[in-house]
Amino acid sequence: MKLICSICMDIIDHFNIGTLTAASCGHVFHEGCLLKWLSSNKTCPTCRKPSNKKHVIKLYFDTGETDDVDLGRLQNKLSAAEAKIQSISMEKSKLVQDLQTCKSLVVVQENEAVKYKAKYMEALGQVSTAKMQCKTLQKEVAEKRALAVQLDALQTQVTTFENVKTIVDGTTKEAEDILNTYGEGYGTLKQLSTYCVMLKRELQAANDSRAQLRQQVGELRKETMVKASRLMEKEASIKKWQAEAIRCKDLLSAMEASLESREKPVPHDKFLVESPAPQKRPRLTSPEETPSPHVQSPALRVSTNAWRPKPSTSAVQDRPGSPSLTPRFVVGTNYFKPKPSTDTFQSAIRTGYNGLGGHTKHIIPSRKKK
C-alpha cells in the first residue's frame, strides 16, 4: 500500500516519515504541506472539515533498520523524473517554438536592418550633401554680408566723391548748399575735414601732374630740337649725295661720249702709226738740197696742261672733292691709262726724219723749274 500526501501528491516513505502531521479529522499530510494549506484555508484538504493549526497533531513513528529496497521511494523518484522529463520536454518544445519564432523574428529584423541600413546610407549621403550645401550657403552668406558691407562703404564713398566733385567742379552756390546740409557736431566736422583733406590731395595731385607735364614738355622740346638738327643734317647729306649723283651722271655721260668717239675711225692715226706713209711718194732732191743728218729739224713742242688745275680766284680755298680740283675730261682721251703727275712737268715731242726715208718721234723731258 502506498501512502500519498493528498496536497503535494508525493509518496510518503520512511525518509520523510518524521515530517508527517494529522488534522483534527485524522487525515495525514506532510507537515509543511498542511501548514501551508491551513495558512490559506481553514478546512481539511481531503474531507473539508473545519480545522486549524491548533488542532494539528504531529505524528511520530518507530522505524527499524532494513536493507529492503523502498519501492515507494523509487516510485517517487521515477515519478519525479518523469515529471521532470515531461516538464523538460514541454520546456524544450516551448523553447523550440520560441527558437522558431526568434528565427523568423531575426529574419524579419535582418530584412528591416537591411532596409534601415540602406535608409541610413541614403541619409548619410543626404547629410553630406546637406553639409556641402550648408557650407556653400554659409560661404554665399558670408560673401553677401561682405558685399553688403562693401556696398555700404562704396555708397558712402560715392556720396562723398559726388559731394567733392560738386564742390570742386560745381558753382559756389552748389558747394554752399552741400555744406549747409551738414549740421553741427563731431560727424559734421569729421566729414568737412575729410572733404578738406581730399581737396588738398586733389590739389597736390594736380600740381604734381602739372609739374610732370611741364617736365615732359621740356623733354619733348629738347627732343624736337635734336631731331630737327638731325633732320637738317640729313637734308644736307641728301643734297650732298644728290649733287654727287648728278656729278657721277655727268661723268658717266662724258665717259660714254669718250668711248663713242674712240670707237669712230680717225684717219690721222693711220699716218702716225704707219712709217713710212704709203700714200705719199717720197720727193727726190739733189744732194745740195738734202739737209745734213746732223742738222736737227725744228722741234715741235707739245705741252700737256690738261691735268693742271686752274688757280682759285676766291678768297676761300676749295674743299677737297670740289669740282675745281677734279681733272677736266677731254674728248678722245684714254681714261684707262694712269693719270700723269699734277706738278709743273712739261714734256717735249720732237718729230723729224730718221735718215732712212722715214719719220721718227723723240720725247725729251724738261727739267723742273727750281
Q: Shortest CA distance to 157 belongs to which of 195, 196, 203, 185?
A: 195
What is the C-alpha R_g of the chain? 80
What element of type H or E holds 139?
helix 71-169
29 burial (CB, 10 Å; 0-12 / 13-18 / 19+) is buried
Q: Shortest CA distance to 34 belongs to which of 25, 49, 45?
A: 45
The dihedral built from the CA positions of residue 40, 41, 42 and 46, taken in this order, carries a sign that is negative
Show Cβ contacts of residue 324 under 8 Å, excluding neighbours closer than 6 positions.
309, 310, 312, 318
Task: Give the per-residue pLDDT at 10.
Answer: 77
Task: Give the per-residue pLDDT at 67.
Answer: 52
C-alpha cell at 261: 668717239
Can you tell me the distance from the alpha carbon of 183 to that of 161, in angstroms, rounded to the nearest whole number?
19
Can you tell me the distance from the alpha carbon of 135 to that of 128, in angstroms, rounded to the nearest whole number?
10
Kindly state the DSSP code that residue 337 receives in the 8-state scheme.
Answer: S
Helix 172-181 vs helix 71-169: angle between axes, to the nearest 10 degrees? 140
What is the per-residue burial (b if ≥16 Cβ within 10 Å, else e) of 201-239? eeeeeeeeeeeeeeeeeeeeeeeeeeeeeeeeeeeeeee
Task: Give the per-residue pLDDT at 197.
Answer: 78
Q: What is the pLDDT of residues 280-326, one digit of tens each?
A: 555 556 555 555 554 444 444 444 444 444 444 444 444 444 444 44
Beta strand segments in the chain, E: 3-4, 11-12, 20-22, 28-30, 57-58, 347-353, 359-365
Name the CATH superfamily, with its identifier, for domain 1-68.
Zinc/RING finger domain, C3HC4 (zinc finger) (3.30.40.10)
What is the 3-class SS of 208-236, one letter each residue? HHHHHHHHHHHHHHHHHHHHHHHHHHHHH
Task: Give the per-residue pLDDT at 313.
Answer: 45
Can you tell me the distance from the alpha carbon of 127 to that of 138, in angstroms, rounded to the nearest whole number?
16
Length of the chain, please? 370
Tally Cβ neighbours within 10 Å of residue 305.
8
Q: Shortest CA distance to 37 belongs to which of 72, 5, 85?
A: 5
Q: What is the pLDDT of residues 30-69, one digit of tens each?
A: 888 888 888 888 888 888 888 888 888 888 777 665 555 5
Task: Give the per-residue pLDDT at 322.
Answer: 44
Q: Which residues of the chain have pLDDT under 50?
A: 277, 294-330, 343-345, 370
The greatest distance separating any two alpha carbons of the chain, rounded to the nearest whole angstrom, comes to 236
Can you tell me the distance from the alpha carbon of 247 to that of 196, in angstroms, rounded to the nearest whole number?
75
Can you tell me the distance from the alpha carbon of 317 to that of 39, in angstroms, rounded to the nearest whole number?
172
Tally Cβ neighbours within 10 Å of residue 354.
13
Can you tell me the distance from the alpha carbon of 49 to that of 39, in angstroms, rounded to the nearest whole number?
15
Parse the chain into domains and list their residue ranges: 1-68, 74-171, 297-308+320-370
Report the predicted TM-score, pTM, of the whole model to 2 decimal places. Answer: 0.27
Q: Shortest CA distance to 329 belongs to which of 251, 262, 270?
A: 251
Asked if 362 contacts 349 with a C-beta cutoff of 8 angstroms, the reply is: yes
